[in-house]
Amino acid sequence: MELTRRDAVAALVAGGAVVAGAATLGDSPEPGDAPTDPAADLDEELLRTLTAAAEMLYPSEVDGHRAFVERYVLGRIEAREQYRAGVAEAAAELDAVARDWEDAAFASLSRDARDELLRSLGVDTADPDPNGPISERIRRFVVNELLFAFYASPTGGRLVGIENPVGHPGGTESYQRATMPPEDGDGD
């Protein structure tokens, strides 16, 4: 299954973001936030770390992680300076721990090593607190955000049997059907 930028936009809409044309706008700014250019803070290392986390978190049969993550994160951080800083700091801390413990960037680690690192940090059981210790910030800004984006997207929802995720059009007919129609090219 291929994740697309369209999936990311659908996940943004499901999360309450306003989408206008090709540009996606994030939720309402936090108090004290000033609008800024979101691409300015989405540097290559941040994108590599978040994409590596998505590759580890998402089912192995899914492709297209980078474009999906980039579009979703840009939509979430636009006009939200505090949120942008939280995402950047959490991802940088995750990468720094990987470099300290494994002598390699988080994105350079194998899928299993990434999983083990997150579990060793306690991220799998941490509460998602944006002001908490490192494991809670990583849980909030990296893990929970990426999981929400995936399962709120049409492709992610279809993979787990949720044909019509919140924010994705479908109407009463789609939720009353007992089974999902086959995806194009599935044969049935």
Condensed to tens digits (0 to 9), the pLDDT of residues 13-44 reads: 656 554 443 333 334 344 444 444 444 446 88
Identify the helix (H) or strand (E) that includes residue 24: strand 23-25
Instruction: Confirm whether 184 is domain-assigned.
Output: no
Q: Is the pLDDT of residue 160 over 80?
A: no
What pLDDT score does 94 carry? 95
Q: Could you give the number of structural domains in the chain?
A: 1
What pLDDT score does 9 carry? 65
Instruction: Confirm whether 34 is domain-assigned.
Output: yes
Higher pLDDT: 102 or 171? It is 102
Higher pLDDT: 20 or 97? It is 97
| Domain that includes residue 131, residue range | 5-176
Instruction: Confirm whether 30 is domain-assigned.
Output: yes
Instruction: Confirm whether 181 is domain-assigned.
Output: no
Higher pLDDT: 27 or 101? It is 101
Instruction: Confirm whether 185 is domain-assigned.
Output: no
Q: Count of alpha carbons within 13 Å of 35, Cβ hemisphere only?
A: 5
The single-letter code of the amino acid at 25 is L
- DSSP code for 63: B
Instruction: Confirm whether 146 is domain-assigned.
Output: yes
Instruction: Confirm whether 84 is domain-assigned.
Output: yes
* Alpha-helical regions (H) of the chain: 5-14, 44-57, 65-77, 81-102, 111-121, 134-138, 145-152, 154-159, 171-176
Instruction: Confirm whether 187 is domain-assigned.
Output: no
pTM (predicted TM-score): 0.71
Higher pLDDT: 84 or 55? It is 55
